[in-house]
C-alpha cells in the first residue's frame, strides 16, 4: 500500500515530465496583459506569447481576442491615382504588459507596443487577433499548442484545465484559475465554442486555457457567470490560422516568412462582413445577451 501511495503522488505531481510548479511558472511566463486605448475608450484583456525565429531574430507575437483590440480599429477612405476610392482598415498599436515574477512574487513589469497584424471580427468572425511586438527579443518562451491525431483536436468533457489571464485587467495580471471542459460544440451566433468551468472575470478575454501539462487548448472569450464560460477551441484556432494565411504561428516546426511579408499581409480578409458598419442596435445586442464579452471597459 505504501508503494501504491507513492506512485499516486508521483503521477499527480508530474505532467509529461514537468512538475506542477514548472508548468505554472511556464504559464506565467507566456501570459500578458493587453491594454487597448484610443481617444475615447480604453480596455484591458489578456494575451499569450508566441516566439518565432524570423530572419535569424526572435520575434514575439501575441494571440488575443479581437474584441480586446476592436476599439483600436478605424476605417478611412483614400483616393487612388485613377480617381477611384477605397476603404483602408487601420489599427493603432496596442500595449503589451508582461509581469516579471520570481519565486512567485512580482518584481516588475515590461511594457511594449505591438501592432495588430491579423484581426477576425468578434460579431461575425472568429474573435481572434494576432499582434506582433515591435521590440525584438521580448518574449523568452512561447505557448505550446495542443494537437491531437484526429481531425477535430477535441478535448474531452471532464478534462481538467488551467486558465491564466489578467482578471480585472492588469490588477489581476497572471491570475490562475482551474476548471474542466464542461461541454463541447456550443454554437453562439453561428460560431462554435467549447464550454468550461474555469473561473473568469472582466479582463480574462484573450487569455489561454491549458491542459495541466501546459498545452494551449483554447482562448477564453465569453462569460455568463457561475463558472459558465466559453472558449474558442484550439481546433477553431487552427482553422482561423489556415484561413488567415498564418498556419506557421501555431506550428513550432514551420518556417516563418520574412518580416516584410508578414507586415504586408492584409489585416482582415477582403470583403469580410466586418467591413459593415456596426449599428448601435447590434452593439447593444452583443453586450446584453448572454454569454457576454469579458474584457474590462
| Segments in the chain forming alpha helices (H) | 2-13, 20-30, 66-69, 234-243, 259-264, 280-288
User: Can you tell me the distance from the alpha carbon of 171 to that of 253, in angstroms, rounded to the nearest whole number?
Assistant: 36
**pLDDT (tens digit, 9 = 90+) per residue, 112-149?**
999 999 999 888 789 999 999 998 878 788 999 998 76
In a domain, 45, yes or no: yes
pLDDT of residue 152: 65
In a domain, 203, yes or no: yes
Cβ–Cβ under 8 Å, residues 191 and 122: no
**pLDDT (tens digit, 9 = 90+) per residue, 219-236?**
999 888 778 999 999 999
Q: Based on the structure, what is the number of domains in the chain?
A: 1
In a domain, 284, yes or no: no
- Which residues touch 41 (CB under 8 Å, ≥6 apart)? 71, 297
In a domain, 285, yes or no: no
In a domain, 278, yes or no: no
pTM for this entry: 0.84
User: Can you tell me the distance from the alpha carbon of 123 to that of 197, in angstroms, rounded to the nearest whole number?
Assistant: 23
In a domain, 128, yes or no: yes
Question: Residue 174 sits in a domain of what CATH number?
Answer: 2.40.10.120
Does residue 231 come out as left (phi exceeding 0), alpha (psi in the -120 to 50 range) or beta? Answer: beta
In a domain, 48, yes or no: yes
Burial degree of 177 (CB within 10 A; 0-12, 13-18, 19+) = buried
Lowest-confidence range among 47-61, 90-104, 185-199? 90-104
User: Can you tell me the distance from the alpha carbon of 238 to that of 100, in angstroms, rounded to the nearest whole number?
Assistant: 30
- Which residues touch 263 (CB under 8 Å, ≥6 apart)? 117
Cβ–Cβ under 8 Å, residues 234 and 151: no
**pLDDT (tens digit, 9 = 90+) per residue, 169-216?**
888 888 999 999 999 988 887 888 999 999 999 999 999 999 999 999
Show the domain range for 149.
2-273
Q: Closest Cα partner for 121 from 235, 281, 267, 234?
A: 267
User: Can you tell me the distance from the alpha carbon of 219 to that of 226, in angstroms, rounded to the nearest whole number?
Assistant: 18
Q: What angle do CA 118, 60, 205 make, to 5 degrees?
A: 55
In a domain, 22, yes or no: yes
CA atoms within 13 A on the CB side of 295: 29
Amino acid at each position: 500500500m505504501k508503494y501504491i501511495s507513492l506512485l499516486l503522488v508521483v503521477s499527480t505531481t508530474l505532467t509529461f515530465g514537468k512538475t506542477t510548479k514548472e508548468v505554472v511558472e511556464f504559464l506565467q511566463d507566456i501570459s500578458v496583459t493587453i491594454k487597448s486605448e484610443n481617444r475615447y475608450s480604453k480596455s484591458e484583456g489578456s494575451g499569450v506569447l508566441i516566439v518565432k525565429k524570423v530572419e535569424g531574430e526572435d520575434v514575439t507575437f501575441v494571440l488575443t481576442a479581437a474584441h480586446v483590440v476592436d476599439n483600436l480599429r478605424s476605417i478611412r477612405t483614400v483616393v487612388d491615382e485613377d480617381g477611384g476610392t477605397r476603404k483602408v482598415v487601420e489599427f493603432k498599436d496596442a500595449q503589451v504588459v508582461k509581469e516579471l515574477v520570481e519565486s512567485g512574487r512580482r518584481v516588475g513589469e515590461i511594457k511594449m507596443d505591438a501592432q495588430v497584424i491579423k484581426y477576425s471580427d468578434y460579431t461575425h468572425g472568429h474573435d481572434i487577433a494576432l499582434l506582433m511586438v515591435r521590440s525584438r527579443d521580448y518574449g523568452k518562451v512561447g505557448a505550446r499548442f495542443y494537437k491531437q491525431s484526429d481531425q477535430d483536436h477535441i478535448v474531452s468533457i471532464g478534462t481538467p484545465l488551467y486558465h491564466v489571464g489578467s482578471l480585472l485587467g492588469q490588477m489581476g495580471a497572471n491570475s490562475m484559475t482551474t476548471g474542466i471542459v464542461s461541454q463541447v460544440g456550443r454554437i453562439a451566433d453561428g460560431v462554435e465554442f467549447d464550454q468550461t468551468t474555469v473561473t473568469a472575470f472582466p479582463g480574462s478575454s484573450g487569455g489561454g486555457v491549458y491542459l495541466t501539462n501546459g498545452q494551449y487548448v483554447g482562448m477564453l472569450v465569453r462569460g455568463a457567470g457561475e463558472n459558465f464560460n466559453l472558449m474558442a477551441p484550439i481546433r477553431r484556432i487552427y482553422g482561423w490560422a489556415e484561413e488567415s494565411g498564418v498556419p506557421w504561428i501555431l506550428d513550432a516546426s514551420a518556417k516563418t516568412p520574412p518580416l516584410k511579408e508578414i507586415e504586408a499581409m492584409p489585416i482582415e480578409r477582403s470583403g469580410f462582413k466586418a467591413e459593415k458598419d456596426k449599428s448601435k442596435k447590434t452593439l447593444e445586442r452583443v453586450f446584453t445577451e448572454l454569454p457576454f464579452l469579458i474584457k474590462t471597459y
